[in-house]
Structure 1
C-alpha cells in the first residue's frame, strides 16, 4: 500500500483512534509507524506531506491527535503551528529536530499539547505521550463545558455570556456608564456546510471565533451563542461611536479571507447592536433587541450592521455620512481657518491670534470643531488635518506679513495623536522651513493631557521643534492633572487660563483667588499668561490689575476669517496712528 494516500491507514482499515502525521518525508512516517506497531496499539496513522492538504483532511475528518513534524512549517515554526492548532479539534504533538529549551517553550506557548525530540523518541515514550495528550485534551473539553466555555471554539458559551453581561450591567449602574451588546451571524454559512462539509463548517466556526477574539479589546467578552451566531460585549461604551468602531473594526478584520484546507473562503458578517440602558434594561432584552437588529441588517443587503431603534440608526447614519463628507472636504481643501485675536491687556494692541478650524458643510452650515474633531480623532484624519492647518496658517501668516503686520504670532492647536505619527517632526519642520514666516512667530498649543501622554516622547518632540524656534503654550491650564515640576522641564513659554475659571471673575471670590494664583505662579516660572473667555470689561480690568499679559475672547473679537482679521488690524493701526506690526 502507498501509505501517503489520504484516507487509508497502514492496513487500509478504518481505525478507532486515527492519528494524522504531518511530515515531508516517507522515512519519518515509517519511523512513527514502526514505533506504534512495536506495541499493541489502538492508534492508526494517516500521512499528509503538505500542510495545506493536511488542513483539508482535518476539515473533513476527526482525528484523535496530530503528530506534526516541525520541518513541515511553511510560514515559520510558530505561525504554522498556530494555524494548525486553531483549525483542529484535537491535541497537536510537535516532533522537533532541535530540542532546544527556547524552541520547546515557543511550541507550547503556540498551543502544542506536547513536544518530542526525534533523537530521544522511543516506542514507549511516543505511546505515553499520545495517551497523555489525548487524556488531557478530553479533560480540557470537560472542564470547558463545566466552566461555561464552548467546546468547539474555546470562547464563552451562552450561559457564561449571560453572566458577563449581567455583571457589566451591575458595574454600569454603579459607575453611571453604558455598555453595548453586538449580535452577529455569518452570512451564507449553510453554503460552506453544503459545499465543503460539516467538518469544514466546524473548522470555519473555530477560525471565526479566533479572529473575533484577536480583534477585540481585552475588556470585551465574546461568546458563541450557537450554530454560526456569536455575541460580543462592548464594556464601558460611553458613546454610541465606541460600538460603531468595534463593528467597523470587525468588518475590516473579516475582509481578509480564511484558508480552509486548500480553499480560500471570504466571510461576511451581519451585526446588530443594542445599547444599555436605552435599548434594553435586562440581559434578555439587550440580546433579543441586538438579535432583532442583526436580522434587520441581514435583510438590508450591504448594511453590515444596524442598531436597535430608529433614533440610533439615524444617528449612526449621520455620523457615517459626516465622516465621509469630512474626508472629502479635507481632500478637496474645503476646510477654512478662522482667527481669534489675542490682545495685550495693558496696551490694547493685537499681538497675535489663534487659528481655529471651521468646516462650511453644504447641508449643515458652518460646523465648529466640536462637531467633527472627535470623528477626525477616531478615524485617524486628525493627523493629515493637523498638517493642513499648519500649512494654511503659514500661508495666511505670510499674507498678514505682506499686509504690513509682521510682528504677530499665530497659535495652532496640536492633538496628542499627531505626536504618534512617525513622520510628525520631519513633516512639521519641513513645512515650517519651506515657509517665509519666522518660526518664532508660530506657537503650538497643547492641552495638559496631551503633554502627559507618553511624556518622554512628547518632551523629545517639543524640544526638537523648540530647537528650530517654535514656541509652545499650555492650553486649558488648570483643567488637567499635570505636575508643575514636570511642566518646568518642558519648553513652554505661555499658559492659557481656561475660560471655566475666567467666566466667574470678578464676582466669585474663590475663582478670583485661583486665577490670581495661576498668574503669579506662571510669572514666577517666567511664563506669559493668556486668559481665555474674556467677555466683559470688568473681567479685562481685573485681569490687567493682576498682571495677566494677554486676553482672548468676545470682548475683543469673535473668531473671524482672514479678510476680517486684516480689516481689524488695519482699523486698529489707523486708530493708534502707528505703522508698527502690532496694529
Structure 2
C-alpha cells in the first residue's frame, strides 16, 4: 500500500481553495483516510493561510463556469512556486485540463471519478514534485563547495533586512563584514585549485563556528558575514570584537598534505544604517575597507571611513589630469642633498618628483603617486624621472660639478613592466648616463612583495652598473639572506627612527642596530630626516656614513641644488652643534 505521509509523526499538510461553494466531501474524505492534514478556505483567505502555514500541496477548485480560477492559479504559481497546485472539480473537459496545465497546474483530479488508488498516485507524485522543487531551490541558494549561502541568496536576504530598515524599522542595526585571505591567489597558483578548495572549505567551517546562519561565500576566498544587534547596543564595539575573533581563527595554520600553511586574512566592515542602506553601496564600502586593511598591514581589519573614501575618490578624479601632465611635461625633479657626515660635504642627492600644475601650483607626490601606482601611470612617469636625472647629471658634469650618487625611487609596480631593463638601458645609452652615479631606491615592501620577480629585475639592472639602496629600512619585513645576495649597496634609516633618537630609547637602539648591521654587511648607511644637531651628533657618534634632511636642506629645484654644490656649503657634527 502506498503511503502519502513522510513519517509516522509528520502529516502532509494540504490547503483546499474553493470560492464557489463546491461540495468537497469526496476530496476531504480521501485526505482524511490517507492521514493528510488539511485546511479549507476561499481564495481571498488563501494568502493569509499560506503565510502562516507550511503546506505541501494546494488543491484549487476549477470553478468551471468562472474564469477567475486561471488568475488564481497564476497568482499561486507566482507567489508559491515550490508548492504543487492540483486542480479539482466534479467534471473537467480535456480543453479545460489543457488550459490549466498550460498555466502550470501540477496535476488534476475529477472528483466524480476519484478512487483511493488514483488519489494515492496523485498525492505521492506531487509530494515528490514538492521535494524536488524544494531541494532544487535549496541547491540554487547554496555554494556547492562550502554549503554556505551563495551570492544571489545573500543579496536577497540582505535586501529584505535593508528594506525593513528603510521603512523605519529601528529595532536593529547591521554590520556587513567582508573577509578574504592574504596570499590565497599565490597559494592557488603554486598548489592548484584543488588545494585552494581545501583551504576555502576549512575557512568556511571556522567562520561558521563564529557566526552561524549569517555567512555567505561570494566567490574564491571571499566571504561576507552579517552581524545584527539591537539598536541600543554598541555595534562598532561588537563588530570589533568579532573581527578580532575572525583574525585569531583564520590565522591558525591550515593543514594541507601534512604541511601547515599560514594564510592571514584581511577584513573590511560597513555599518547599517550609519554608512548606507543600499546593498550595492554597502558591499562596495566593505570591500574598499578590506582592501585598505590589506594595504595597511597583513592580518588586519578596517571599518569603512567616509573621509578616506572621499580622498580615494579625489585620487580617481585626478587620473585624467595626471595623463595630461605626462603629455604636457608638467613634472619637475627636485633634489635633496645627501651629505657625508664626517666632512659635511654634499656628495649626492635624492631626486624627488613634483607636479607643477598650471592651476593648482606645486603638487607633492603624496597627492598623485598613489593614483599613478594604481593605474600603472607610474611606469611612464618613472621613465621620465630616469631621463630627467640623466640630463641633470650631464648638466652638472658640463658645469664642472661632480656628485657620487644621484638616487631616485623605483616602485614595485615598475618591476611588473617586462620592458623595464631594456627601456632603462636605452635611456642610459641615449643620455650617456654614468651608471656609477645612478642609484635606485627600493622600499622593503616592494622588495619582498614579489621576491622572485623583483630579484630578476634588480639583477638585470645591476648588470648595467646601477647601484641600489634600501629605503625606509626597519619598517618592513627584511630578509637578511636577500640583503646578502642582492646587489644592495646601502641602507637608509627611516626618518621615524631618526626623529626619536634623543627621546626614545627604543629608537636609539634600532638606529644603532641598523648601523652595526650595515657595517657588518659592508654597506653604506644613510639617515633620512635629520633635522637637529642633536640627531646628527648621535649618528656621527655611532658611525653613520651619510645623512639627508632639513638640517642640511629641504628638496630644492635643480638650479638651487647647483648653487649649493657651487658654494661648497658644509655642515659637520661639530659645526651643527655650534649653531
8 Å Cα contact 2:315-2:368 kept in structure 1: no
Equivalent in 153, 156, 173 of residue 158 of structure 1: 156
Structure 1 residues 160 and 365, CA gap change in structure 2 (3 angstroms): same
Higher mean alpha-carbon deviation, 503-512 vs 538-547, is at: 503-512
Q: What is the alpha-carbon distance in structure 1 between the residues aligned to residue 367 and residue 355 of structure 2?
A: 9
RMSD, aligned CA: 4.4
Q: Secondary structure at the match of 1:343?
A: strand
How far does residue 547 in structure 1 lie from its aligned partner after superposition?
A: 0.8
Name the count of aligned residue pairs. Answer: 338
Q: Is structure 2 residue 549 aligned with structure 1 residue 549?
A: no
Q: What is the alpha-carbon distance in structure 1 between the residues aligned to residue 540 and residue 459 of structure 2?
A: 31
User: Counterpart in 2 of 1:103?
Assistant: none
User: Counterpart in 1 of 2:390?
Assistant: 394
How far does residue 555 in structure 1 lie from its aligned partner after superposition?
A: 0.4
8 Å Cα contact 2:142-2:150 kept in structure 1: no
Q: Is structure 2 residue 420 aligned with structure 1 residue 432?
A: no
How far does residue 509 in structure 1 lie from its aligned partner after superposition?
A: 2.5
How far does residue 560 in structure 1 lie from its aligned partner after superposition?
A: 0.3
How far does residue 287 in structure 1 lie from its aligned partner after superposition?
A: 3.5
Runs of 4+ displaced beyond 4 Å? 135-139, 145-149, 151-157, 160-164, 170-173, 215-218, 275-279, 288-291, 308-317, 573-576
TM-score (norm. length: structure 1)? 0.51
Q: What is the alpha-carbon distance in structure 2 between the residues aligned to residue 312 and residue 497 of structure 1?
A: 29
User: Counterpart in 2 of 1:405?
Assistant: 401
8 Å Cα contact 2:315-2:370 kept in structure 1: no
Q: Secondary structure at the match of 1:169?
A: strand
User: Counterpart in 2 of 1:83?
Assistant: none
User: Counterpart in 2 of 1:233?
Assistant: none
Q: Secondary structure at the match of 1:526?
A: coil
Q: Which runs of 5+ in 2 are unaligned?
A: 1-130, 163-171, 180-217, 226-238, 240-267, 286-303, 573-579
Q: What is the alpha-carbon distance in structure 1 between the residues aligned to residue 391 and residue 405 of structure 2?
A: 13
Q: Secondary structure at the match of 2:562?
A: helix
Superposition pairs of residues 337-486 of structure 1, within 5 angstroms = 337-486=333-482
8 Å Cα contact 1:279-1:289 kept in structure 2: no
User: Counterpart in 1 of 2:520?
Assistant: 524
Q: Which runs of 5+ in 1 are unaligned?
A: 1-134, 174-214, 223-235, 237-274, 294-307, 577-583
Q: Is structure 2 residue 502 aligned with structure 1 residue 510?
A: no
User: Counterpart in 1 of 2:274?
Assistant: 281
8 Å Cα contact 1:279-1:309 kept in structure 2: no
User: Counterpart in 2 of 1:219?
Assistant: 222
Q: Secondary structure at the match of 2:406?
A: strand
Equivalent in 560, 567, 578 of residue 563 of structure 2: 567
8 Å Cα contact 2:176-2:224 kept in structure 1: no
Structure 1 residues 278 and 398, CA gap change in structure 2 (3 angstroms): farther
8 Å Cα contact 1:340-1:355 kept in structure 2: yes
Q: Which has the larger radius of gyration?
A: 2
User: Counterpart in 2 of 1:232?
Assistant: none
TM-score (norm. length: structure 2)? 0.51
How far does residue 485 in structure 1 lie from its aligned partner after superposition?
A: 2.1
How far does residue 220 in structure 1 lie from its aligned partner after superposition?
A: 7.1
Q: What is the alpha-carbon distance in structure 2 between the residues aligned to residue 286 and residue 276 of structure 1?
A: 15
8 Å Cα contact 1:443-1:471 kept in structure 2: yes
Q: Secondary structure at the match of 1:439?
A: coil
Q: What is the alpha-carbon distance in structure 2 between the residues aligned to residue 322 and residue 505 of structure 1?
A: 38
Q: What is the alpha-carbon distance in structure 1 between the residues aligned to residue 152 and residue 524 of structure 2?
A: 59
Q: What is the alpha-carbon distance in structure 2 between the residues aligned to residue 551 and residue 160 of structure 1?
A: 56
Q: What is the alpha-carbon distance in structure 2 between the residues aligned to residue 409 and residue 424 of structure 1?
A: 21
